[in-house]
Amino acid sequence: MGIKGIIFDMDGTLTLANVDLVAVNREIGIPDSEPILEYLDKQGEPRRSEGLKVLEKFETRAAETSKLNDGVVDVLEHVREKGIKTALLTRNSRRSVEILLKRHKLHFDVVVTREDAPPKPSPSPVKLIGEKLGIDPKDLLMVGDVHFDIFSGKAAGTKTALLCMGRKLGVVEQTADYRLDSLSELIDIINNSGEGW
């Protein structure tokens, strides 16, 4: 038995990344070098809540105009044919995810957002998905386009696939178990995942 479940990141993996993070940072007043959720977590109220509201506004707008990445529909169809469970894991808000799923008529067995667990790169949301699916992390594959995805999966004990799409991502490329140039490459990985994949 190979892969039992696949966890997909949303922005930049299922969809072309289109949240304008520079504009979010500018509107809230966050230094560009700092990840937004981690920065806001360190702020007192009402700054934290107000910042999250701004972020959600941008995420919602991005979801309403989102475009699917190449290969998503084919890969999800293949995954389902193989009886492999699916999960969506994102640092975004649940509201933006619901808009996006409806827009593209996508369905996942489990959806975990920042309202459900500490965000990636924490292993917590990946472990939560494993529990909800009833699948041991070692039988899961985490697919994402940035280091947060890979570190979160690794720390929880999953296999990991980094979607590079021609980008050079440095050391995280060696950390990931698989390096993908397109999502469609997942189909071969699934087909070749036998015992001890």
* Sites of contact with Mg ion (CB under 5 A): 9, 11-12, 145
Q: Which residue is nearest to Mg ion (CB)?
A: 12
- Residue closer to Mg ion by CB (options 152, 193) is 152
CA distances from 73 to 14, 110, 116, 158, 177 (A): 9, 17, 26, 23, 23
- Residue closer to Mg ion by CB (options 43, 122) is 122
The upper half-sphere exposure of residue 150, i.e. CA atoms within 13 Å in the direction of its Cβ, equals: 19
- Residue closer to Mg ion by CB (options 139, 145) is 145
User: Closest distance between Mg ion and the C-beta of residue 153, in Å?
Assistant: 13
User: Closest distance between Mg ion and the C-beta of residue 78, in Å?
Assistant: 21
- Residue closer to Mg ion by CB (options 67, 138) is 67
User: Closest distance between Mg ion and the C-beta of residue 35, in Å?
Assistant: 12
- Residue closer to Mg ion by CB (options 9, 59) is 9
User: Are 72 and 14 in contact, with CB atoms under 8 Å apart?
Assistant: yes
Beta bridge partners of residue 163, listed in sequence order:
180
User: Closest distance between Mg ion and the C-beta of residue 45, in Å?
Assistant: 28
User: Closest distance between Mg ion and the C-beta of residue 44, in Å?
Assistant: 29
Residues contacting 93, CB < 8 A, separation 6+: 52, 55, 56, 59, 60, 113, 114, 115
User: Closest distance between Mg ion and the C-beta of residue 84, in Å?
Assistant: 21
